[in-house]
Structure 1
């Protein structure tokens, strides 16, 4: 807080402005990471002939990235936690620039796959840092909004970046698209060095072992909600095309467009609510996701119901990751957020893999109509954990340290005047 104003003789704190340039730099880093991960999925027919492999093997470039991110998040975060934070961030972005440049120039599938593994490792490191970095740049009472701004880069990449990258590749070639991504990462390095504050790494004597961070009050509950939500979501989202066909609505592109547009609205609403009503917002989001799965299970064959349900699903899911990650940072504290977030990154990727695998098995054995009924109990489990874990993980009232200090000061002032 930087200024105060007087109202009827009482000093009223005025919040300091958010460090917009630094937060937008981190949001652009999230945008770059998601676009780097997913762009090959939209370019399979163009990349396969140039690399001399099948489209399925080009698809493995996405799988390799995700696998490397899953494997690297915890060990790399633990290895690098003592280094200055901005140095690690710049190193990860430089890795993205190098990897995308190699992909843009390479004609060897093996070299391209190796570059994608490097990018995945950088991604695991980056995702472990972003929320904690944002939290350290703002007062505690504005932490949720700062994290929402940073994670909005994910939503923009999914709803706008991937389609725009695919169009760009069609116009100027897929190599040029990856070249643009490499150039964006280079520019982002300069932006980060110019605007993002430098924070020190953890001193050796202050480092809490990873196992102890995982056991901090509230952390297991937040990780459980992350897992249940991602498995339930991915069961449906991975197979939205066959489900739409099952519902008699073959326009999968429109379904995904409705979902993507709704996620943008969802993260905006979350930015408004997260600092004051995190618990209520998360309960509402998870409850809405569960209600959507129930509606899709009962009335999927009605096209209007399908589109309305998908819109509500995107609205609810759009803000859920921000709410959960803010709860994680609250439980761990900003100083341990990198390690806690590395755990969540691993759980997040495990949830995506488990949901996709489960949905595939269900689709083959039971048909697309069974998918919502598999997703529903998982979302109910996530909702139940949030409902029960109201003390440490998802408290009804998130009192910031600044608020606590103000209250303490007011109490001392009252005692002196008594």
Structure 2
């Protein structure tokens, strides 16, 4: 993987020492991504409790995840352009402040409409964060190590996904679902303090008129990457948003925490393994990720009364998924060259829209066809994703990567 440097690279004053990754700064970006996705998926582990407080059904309460992702999808491009000239750390701090405030207010709300509005505003905050992370990390990294820097910065996304539901479930057992949102707000404030101290405040730059959306979308390879990303992420969210219902059908509702722990452990392991090899073997890793995820879903679809196989399948799913944001963002940066910043905003829009679609369609499938339909719908999507990745050998996922 060869990351193309954008024109707004770090100044000499903020550039890291040759060959050394700026670990503290990258950890700050990691935390920002972690908070964003943690806040997004937090309700998924709290749906029964939240639905009672908000006086709605579980499927309607599940749309608190959908509306958050929808806001991120709608806001990513316009907000990125509106703040393009702002200092980068200022944008990141503003976005984190929005997330902290809305999480606190969500914990205080017992009204469904107000909660949905707050979740939408929180999603707009994330719409500011995610387009920043990959490019910010690449600018802070020394030549030849941008891929690893991006993998570190984006690792907060899969780890947040892996830990969001179990953390929410655990905190809910201690003090109600509201405690989970209060804790998320507190961690966000601590992240703001870390970012303030450790992350260089790189200057913003206006969007180059050459890189408008229409022109960027015709860049060779970008559309297959976006299509593969969409099918992959919709498949994931069909299952992950309603994982508690899936495990209930498999007779493992009492083991939800441990199953999710297995997912989280292998997700973290995936980040560590893929981060080491992503600069040289992006294509192989992307193909392996889609195929392994598909095989895992197939096992979940046919398994019955075999808890060990469920654990194995979920662990393999976590390993496949853990590094997927880094793989797709890395492929986007490679394919788009000088248009990388705009392409990343488009990618985040697709990423977030896919989360929203996955949650929404999953709710429809759950209500209309039952839990079993989730696995088969996800498997079909993953077959499409794998076919697209494998077929993108020239531009999207080139064999040299």
- TM-score tier, shorter chain, comes to 0.7 to 0.9
Match of 1:293 among 277, 294, 297: 297
Say which SS state the counterpart of residue 216 (structure 1) adopts: coil
Gaps of 5+ in 1: 1-13, 399-418
Q: Is 1:120 paired with 2:123? A: yes
Match of 2:274 among 270, 275, 278: 270
- When the two structures are superposed, what TM-score results if normalisation uses the length of structure 1? 0.79
Alignment match, 1:352: 355
Cα offset, 1:299, TM superposition: 4.4
Alignment match, 1:331: 335
CA deviation profile, 1:187-237 (whole Å, cap 9, x unmatched): 333322332122232335566212212222221121011012122333333
Which deviates more from structure 2 when the two are superposed, residues 336-345 or residues 201-210? 201-210
Q: Is 1:100 paired with 2:103? A: yes
Say which SS state the counterpart of residue 141 (structure 1) adopts: coil
Gaps of 5+ in 2: 1-16
CA gap of 1:132–1:356, structure 2 versus 1, over 3 A, is same
Q: Is 1:65 paired with 2:60? A: no
Alignment match, 2:163: 160
Alignment match, 2:141: 138
Q: Is 1:310 paired with 2:309? A: no
Check the 8 A contact 2:38/2:163 in 1, yes or no. no
CA gap of 1:305–1:341, structure 2 versus 1, over 3 A, is same
Cα offset, 1:173, TM superposition: 5.8
Cα offset, 1:243, TM superposition: 4.0
CA gap of 1:62–1:234, structure 2 versus 1, over 3 A, is closer
- When the two structures are superposed, what TM-score results if normalisation uses the length of structure 2? 0.82
Q: Is 1:19 paired with 2:18? A: no
1:18-417 mapped onto 2 (5 Å cutoff): 18-43=21-46, 53-54=55-56, 56=58, 59-104=62-107, 111-171=114-174, 177-203=180-206, 205=208, 208-247=211-250, 249-251=252-254, 253=256, 254-300=258-304, 302-333=306-337, 336-360=339-363, 362=365, 368-398=371-401
Check the 8 A contact 1:241/1:252 in 2, yes or no. no
Cα offset, 1:258, TM superposition: 2.4
CA deviation profile, 1:163-208 (whole Å, cap 9, x unmatched): 3354445545655554443343333333223321222323355662
Paired with 1:305 and 1:100, the residues of 2 have a C-alpha distance of: 37
CA gap of 1:165–1:218, structure 2 versus 1, over 3 A, is same
CA gap of 1:129–1:205, structure 2 versus 1, over 3 A, is closer
Equivalenced residue count is: 383
Cα offset, 1:336, TM superposition: 3.8
Across the aligned residues of Structure 1 and Structure 2, the Cα RMSD in angstroms comes to 3.1
CA gap of 1:17–1:43, structure 2 versus 1, over 3 A, is same
Paired with 2:289 and 2:172, the residues of 1 have a C-alpha distance of: 36
CA deviation profile, 1:60-88 (whole Å, cap 9, x unmatched): 54343223222212221222223332221
Which deviates more from structure 2 when the two are superposed, residues 128-137 or residues 105-114? 105-114
Paired with 1:358 and 1:111, the residues of 2 have a C-alpha distance of: 23
Structure with greater contact order relative to length (CA < 8 Å, sep ≥ 6): 2
